[in-house]
């Protein structure tokens, strides 16, 4: 697949910021995977490696002072793209009191109420109505914001998805539904379990326009999201983006991903969203290879520091057990 | 004092709270233009309009979740389930989202929402539309559950539930909507978590809540004729549970019967029975007796469906048992 990066339309600062955020997610996730291997992180840990352009490109089109993000349990990338502190995130993965959810949420439940990162949700498709409800609040209060609701190809067959799109349409809610089609719902390729191959068409059943987007091209993601956000902001209408992407790692850390071939994985690695964008930026003279290496090193240091912070942080005390059950 | 129905008491509570706080909205099936399947929301759509009184499609999971999301973002929605039977479609939203959002976000989010609708057996509705499901909700940390039995309690508790910063399951009863009772003019609140002594007595404590209150009151009147004075503890709130009021009464009467129209296994009745047995052990003169619904799905046939539920006779028999009269 040949890709066009519309580099010339953007400022150097903006482009570098996109690249840096993607690298940070990659290095953060590698660190998380490594620490999981060392049993510093337990339970389910779903890495975002390969999908970085989706969160980074789309969240760059939001203004989080008025817009909102809700996503799935594969949420580290979105949290970082929303500007959450890598230290606080890693501490949450470690289950420490310094984590964003005080060690009670873990990898799947990252939240930042101030920055409108509304989770981090563990049940497939269950947060789609929540996101729709946040959009109802925006409409009811006459606020300018837009909701970005992320979910995977596995969630698209849940009733909650279909129920939500229907309500978003009848009430004209300012929300962008984003299906990150990484092609596998856990270990099952979507083509084996879906009567529809092109998910973007599913929005049309509810009168919601849909578009298929190349999730390996961060600028394409940004541009399509920008347009969807504009429609929501200016006309108060919903839209649906199917962003085609690929995860390099298993569904979670415990998944060896034997359901796909080495060739398939290698083919996608050739379309790595970070390397493609880096090459384009070098080609356009925005950065040099050395600049890239410096950025990469910086992100490795941030990730290492995050792990160190998490390591040094305290466990939550047993006295916190009954805290925050009720308001 | 004015006498109004349970239905009107609920409507007054919603009306007053909507007038008081523009963040309060009502959504559910048939709540707006149809004025509510059981007419609880009668007139609210006329008064507050489609933006605040919202008819939803028949998508319990979907609109329940929409309410929760709106609550996370600062509204105070009232979600009406046409009946609590249909809330089973929405249990994931209630249990996994509403009840857990605050805890799993480390206290970042409150979910100030009320889920309300008729619960418990009605008449001639058969197995899927006539069941008491409170146990499903009472089991879950992060929820509050209330089940008032009088118009007075219904109004005061609904207003408290709407103002509460936590998800509150508010259990009504199809057959209770027509019940009448005194409700004062003007503002009052009943705190969640406080039981109420509906009748004072020295000889036996009968703990109950929701619709069986009437059966228990009738049984108590009959028992009084026979020289037995029952004290009736109406729980009103099931979670949190007012243990203190229960124990105080049992310590006075030394005998306890729990009457609950849900099924016997792992129920509010069995929990209260266990707690009383454990915490009033030295005060009890007899083992605690439970009167629950029979452990079967609800049959359609009227004779059979009445036989399933707690009755005056069953309550009297249980009282006689704890008094060693049978």
Q: Could you tell me whether strands A184-185 and B3-5 are parallel, antiparallel, or unpaired per DSSP bridges?
A: unpaired
Has residue B187 been placed in a domain?
A: no
How many Cβ contacts (< 8 angstroms) between chains A and B? 146
Put simply, the chain B residues between 187 and 226 with a CB less than 8 A from any chain A CB are: none
All residues of chain B having their beta carbon less than 8 Å from the beta carbon of residue A102 are: 106-107
How many structural domains are present in chain B?
Answer: 2
Co-location of B215 and B177 in the same domain: no
Q: What is the DSSP string of B108-157?
A: ------EEEEE-S--SS-HHHHS---HHHHHT-TT-EEE---SHHHHHHH
Residue A1 lies in a domain: no
Same structural domain for residues B175 and B214? no
| B120 and B22 housed in the same domain | yes
Cβ pair B101, B73 in contact under 8 A: no
Shortest CB distance from B69 goes to which of A120, A129, A163?
A: A129
Interface of A with B in 13-32 (CB under 8 A): none
Residues of B in contact with A324 (CB under 8 A): 102-103, 106-107
In chain A, which residues have their Cβ closer than 8 Å to the Cβ of B68? 129-130, 133
Supply the CATH number for residue B310's domain.
Answer: 3.40.50.920
Identify the closest residue of chain B to A124 by CA–CA distance. B92
Q: Shortest Cα distance from A69 to chain B (angstroms)?
A: 12
Q: Is B66 on the interface with A (CB under 8 A)?
A: yes
Q: Smallest Cβ distance to A163: which of B52, B59, B110?
A: B59
Among the listed residues B58, B57, B170, B55, the one whose alpha carbon sits nearest the alpha carbon of residue B113 = B170
Cβ of residue B227 closer than 8 Å to a chain A Cβ? no
Decide: B296 and B266 in contact? Cβ < 8 Å: no
User: In the structure, what pLDDT confidence band is assigned to residue A3 with cuts at 50, 70 and 90?
Assistant: confident
At B251, list the tokens: 């310590």
Q: Which residues of A touch B74 (CB under 8 A)?
A: 137, 141
Q: Do B177 and B218 fall within a single domain? A: no
A window 31-70, beta carbon within 8 A of B = 68, 70
Which phi and psi angles does A75 have, rounded to 5°?
-110, 0
The minimal CB distance from B65 to the residues A104, A105, A130 is found for A130
Question: How does the average pLDDT of chain B come out, rounded?
Answer: 98
| B159 and B28 both lie in a single domain | yes
Judge: A123–B92 Cβ closer than 8 Å, yes or no. Answer: yes
Residue A2 has pLDDT above 80, yes or no: no
Note the residue count of chain B. Answer: 326
**B61·A160 Cβ contact <8 A:** yes
pLDDT < 70 stretches in chain B: none
What are the pLDDT digits (tens) for A152-189? Answer: 999 999 999 999 999 999 999 999 999 999 999 998 99
CB-nearest to B105 from A109, A138, A170 is A109
* Of residues B54, B73, B92, nearest to A137 (C-beta): B73
HSE toward the beta carbon, residue B270, CA cutoff 13 A: 11
- A181 in a structural domain: yes
pLDDT in tens, B41-97: 999 999 999 999 999 999 999 999 999 999 999 999 999 999 999 999 999 999 999
Q: CB-based contacts of A7: which residues, under 8 Å, 6+ apart? A: A15, A219, A280, A281, A284, A286
Last residue of a domain, one of B151, B182, B213: B182
Chain A residues close to B25, C-beta within 8 Å: 140
Cα dihedral B24, B29, B32, B36 sign: negative
Same domain, B168 and B218: no
Instruction: Report yes or no on B244 lying in a domain.
Output: yes
A107 to A140, A317, B41: CA distances (angstroms): 32, 19, 42
Tell me how far apart the alpha carbons of residues A75 and A132 are, in angstroms, rounded to a whole number.
18
Q: Please tell me whether residue A301 adopts helix, strand or coil conformation.
A: helix
Identify the domain boundary among B182, B211, B238.
B182
Tell me the pLDDT tens digit for each residue of A27-53.
999 999 999 999 999 999 999 999 999
Q: Are A37 and A65 in contact (CB under 8 A)?
A: no
- What element of type H or E holds A200? none
Confidence of residue A253 (pLDDT cuts 50, 70, 90): confident
Same domain membership, residue B121 and residue B207: no
The stretch A226-248 carries a mean pLDDT of 96
Is residue A86 in a domain? no
Give residues 18 to 47 of B whose Cβ lies within 8 Å of A. Answer: 25
Residues B144 and B255 in one domain: no
Taking Cα atoms as reference points, which of A174, A178, A116, A164 lies closest to residue A141?
A: A174
Q: Which of B51, B103, B164 sits opposite A324 (nearest CB)?
A: B103
List the domain range (segments joined by +) for residue B18.
3-182
Element (H, E) at A116: none
Q: Is A316 on the interface with B (CB under 8 A)?
A: no
B188 in any annotated domain:
no
Q: Across the interface, do A325 and B103 touch by the CB < 8 Å criterion?
A: yes
Instruction: Tell whether B296 is covered by a domain.
Output: yes
- Residue A150 sits in a domain whose CATH number is 3.40.50.970
Contacts of A185 (CB under 8 A, 6+ apart): A124, A152, A153, A154, A155, A193
ipTM for the predicted complex comes to 0.96
DSSP letter for B93, please: I
A8 secondary structure, DSSP code: G
Question: Please, is B200 exposed, middle or buried when counting C-beta atoms within 10 Å of its C-beta (0-12, 13-18, 19+)?
Answer: exposed
In a domain, B98, yes or no: yes
Residues B213 and B279 in one domain: yes
Nearest CA in chain A to B93: A126
* A101 vs B contacts (CB less than 8 Å): 104-106, 108
**What does the pLDDT read at residue A1?**
53
Domain boundaries, position A215: 16-40+49-66+123-307
Residue A101 lies in a domain: no
A302 in a structural domain: yes
Residue B201 and residue B280 in one domain: yes
Interface of A with B in 152-191 (CB under 8 A): 159-160, 163-164, 166-167, 170-171
For residue B232, tell me if it sits in a domain.
Answer: yes
Q: Is A57 within a domain?
A: yes
In a domain, B290, yes or no: yes
The verdict on residue A319 lying in a domain is no
With b meaning 16 or more CB within 10 Å and e meaning fewer, what string describes A36-75? beeebbeebbbbbbbbbbbbbbbbbbbebeebbbbbbbbb
Contact predicate B287/B277, CB 8 Å: yes
Residue B88 tokens, joined = 């089973």
In this structure, the answer to whether residues B171 and B306 fall within a common structural domain is no
Q: Is residue A80 part of a domain?
A: no
From B182, B206, B227, the end of a domain falls on B182
Question: Does residue B72 form part of some domain?
Answer: yes
B153 and B268 together in one domain: no
Residue B57 to residue B55: CA distance in whole angstroms: 7
Q: Residues for chain A: how many in total? A: 327
The pLDDT tens digits for A48-62 are 999 999 999 999 999
Q: Write out the catalytic residue numbers of B.
A: 60, 129
């Amino acid at each position: 697949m040949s890709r066009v990066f519309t580099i010339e339309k953007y400022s150097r600062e903006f482009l570098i910021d996109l690249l840096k955020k993607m690298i940070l997610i990659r290095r953060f996730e590698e660190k998380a995977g490594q620490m999981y291997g060392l049993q510093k992180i337990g339970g389910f840990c779903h890495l975002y490696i390969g999908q970085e352009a989706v969160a980074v490109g789309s969240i760059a089109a939001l203004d989080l002072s008025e817009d909102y993000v809700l996503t799935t349990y594969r949420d580290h990338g979105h949290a970082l793209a929303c500007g959450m502190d890598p230290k606080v995130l890693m501490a949450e993965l470690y289950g420490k009191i310094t984590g964003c959810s005080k060690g009670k949420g873990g990898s799947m439940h990252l939240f930042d109420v101030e920055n409108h990162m509304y989770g981090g949700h563990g049940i497939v498709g269950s947060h789609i109505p929540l996101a729709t409800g946040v959009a109802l609040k925006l409409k009811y209060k006459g606020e300018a914001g837009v909701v970005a609701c992320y979910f995977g190809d596995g969630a698209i067959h849940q009733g909650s998805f279909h129920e939500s799109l229907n309500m978003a349409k009848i009430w004209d809610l300012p929300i962008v539904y984003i299906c990150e089609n990484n092609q596998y719902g856990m270990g099952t390729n979507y083509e084996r379990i879906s009567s529809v191959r092109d998910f973007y068409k599913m929005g049309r059943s509810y009168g919601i326009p849909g578009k298929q987007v190349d999730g390996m091209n961060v600028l394409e993601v940004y541009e399509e999201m920008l347009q969807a956000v504009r429609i929501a902001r200016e006309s108060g209408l919903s839209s649906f983006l199917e962003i085609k992407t690929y995860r390099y790692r298993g569904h979670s850390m415990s998944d060896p991903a034997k359901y796909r071939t080495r060739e398939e994985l290698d083919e996608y690695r050739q379309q790595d969203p970070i390397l493609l964008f880096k090459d384009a930026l070098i080609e356009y003279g925005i950065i040099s290879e050395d600049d890239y290496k410096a950025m990469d090193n910086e992100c490795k240091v941030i990730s290492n520091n995050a792990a160190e912070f998490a390591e040094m942080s305290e466990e939550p005390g047993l006295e916190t057990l009954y805290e925050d059950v009720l308001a | 004092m004015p006498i109004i129905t349970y239905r009107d008491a609920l409507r007054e509570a919603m009306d007053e709270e909507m007038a008081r706080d523009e963040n309060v909205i009502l959504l559910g099936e048939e709540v707006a233009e149809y004025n509510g399947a059981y007419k609880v929301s009668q007139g609210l759509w006329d008064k507050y309009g489609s933006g605040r009184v919202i008819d939803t499609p028949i998508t319990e999971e979907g609109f329940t979740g929409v309410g929760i999301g709106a609550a996370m973002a600062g509204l105070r929605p009232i979600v009406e389930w046409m009946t609590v039977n249909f809330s089973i479609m929405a249990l994931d939203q209630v249990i996994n989202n509403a009840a857990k959002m605050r805890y799993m976000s480390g206290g970042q989010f409150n979910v100030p929402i009320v889920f309300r609708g008729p619960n418990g057996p009605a008449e001639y509705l058969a197995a899927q539309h006539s069941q008491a499901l409170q146990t499903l909700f009472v089991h879950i940390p992060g929820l509050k559950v209330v089940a008032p039995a009088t118009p007075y309690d219904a109004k005061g508790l609904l207003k408290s539930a709407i103002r509460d910063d936590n998800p509150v399951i508010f259990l009504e009863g199809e057959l209770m909507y027509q019940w009448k009772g005194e409700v004062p003019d003007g503002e009052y609140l009943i705190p969640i978590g406080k039981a109420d002594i509906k009748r004072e007595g020295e000889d036996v404590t009968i703990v109950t809540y929701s619709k069986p209150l009437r059966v228990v009151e009738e049984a108590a009147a009959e028992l009084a004729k026979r020289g037995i004075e029952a004290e009736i503890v109406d729980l009103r709130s099931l979670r949190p549970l007012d243990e203190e009021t229960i124990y105080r009464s049992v310590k006075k009467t030394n005998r306890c019967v729990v009457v609950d129209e849900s099924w016997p296994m792992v129920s509010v009745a069995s929990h209260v029975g266990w707690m009383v047995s454990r915490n009033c052990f030295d005060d009890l003169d007899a083992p605690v007796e439970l009167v629950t619904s029979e452990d079967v799905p609800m049959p359609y046939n009227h004779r059979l469906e009445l036989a399933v539920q707690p009755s005056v006779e069953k309550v009297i028999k249980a009282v006689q048992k704890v008094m060693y009269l049978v």
